[in-house]
Amino acid sequence: MNIALGVEYSGSNYCGWQRQSHSPSVQQNLEQVLSQIANHPVSVFCAGRTDTGVHATGQVVNFELKSERPLKAWFLGANTLLPDDISITWAQQMPSDFHARHSAFSRRYRYVIQNTRHRSATLSGKVTWVRDKLDDSAMNLSAQALLGEQNFASFQASSCQSPTPFRFVEKVGVFRWHDYVIVDIAANAFLHHMVRNIVGTLLNVGTGKQSVDYVAEVLSRQDRTQAPETAKPDGLYLVDVGYPDEFSVPESSLGPLLLPDNLSTT
């Protein structure tokens, strides 16, 4: 049996999604619990390997099950054993050819910036705080240079193992919601640190340090050393993964973002 799960987590206490020998990961905690329920070792495949401190409301994983278990064992049973900052949001049996990563055709991230004079104690680790007033309209205009299939080497971390820097950005928008500025971006896939590097560049536009042409200029350089610093992981959420309709993957919610989903993106 091929089982798929929706997973939501706060990444603040983890070294990221991927299992590491030196510190706890989301994958490690999830596989331990699933293996306990399955009564055999379970290895999961995920849609996107998030970094240290990055959160998810729409992560998708799949794994092979050797012995039959009711779906509620993965939804209800796993949630009783998982730590409070990891939760299963849905469980579904899938066709044998479904793969959480390889079957996906898009990923969508949201980066949440608290734009106030003082930082929030209760939202620490969940949002990135910027004191200076941000011009979200200028950021949104600048971000449109990212659309389409392009070479994103300027936003690619040196540690990225992708054989190509080309990615296709389907849509991108920057908008304000009360005291928060949100960067919403969807692409077929993302390079390592790509979203955080894009946000770091957009913050230079938002604070007025650079013009609206700045993102296009950085993109054209195709050189990470010629781009601004990487934005913090705080506030970055994997919110949705797109799959062909034939798999009937449930839609994800924005979860702890507490933001309406009807705000338009370009």
Per-residue pLDDT, averaged over 218-237, amounts to 94
pLDDT digits (tens, 9 = 90+) for 5-22: 999 999 999 999 998 878
Sorted by where each starts, the structural domains of the chain and their CATH numbers stand as: 2-103 (3.30.70.580), 106-238 (3.30.70.660)
Q: If we measure between CA atoms, which residue out of 81, 80, 78, 84 comes closest to residue 63?
A: 78
Residues in the chain: 266
pLDDT digits (tens, 9 = 90+) for 236-255: 999 999 999 999 999 876 65
Q: Is 51 a catalytic residue?
A: yes
What pLDDT sits at residue 266?
37
Cα distance between residue 236 and residue 126, in whole Å: 8
pLDDT at 236: 96
Beta carbons within 8 Å of 144's beta carbon, 6+ residues apart: 172, 266
Q: What is the pLDDT of residue 264?
A: 41
Is residue 109 annotated as involved in ligand binding? yes
Nearest by Cα to 169 from 143, 187, 144: 187
Q: How far is it, in rounded angstroms, from Cα 228 to Cα 243?
A: 33
3-class secondary-structure state, position 82: coil
Nearest-angstrom CA–CA distance, 61 and 101: 8
pLDDT digits (tens, 9 = 90+) for 139-195: 999 999 999 999 999 999 988 889 999 999 999 999 999 999 999 999 999 999 999
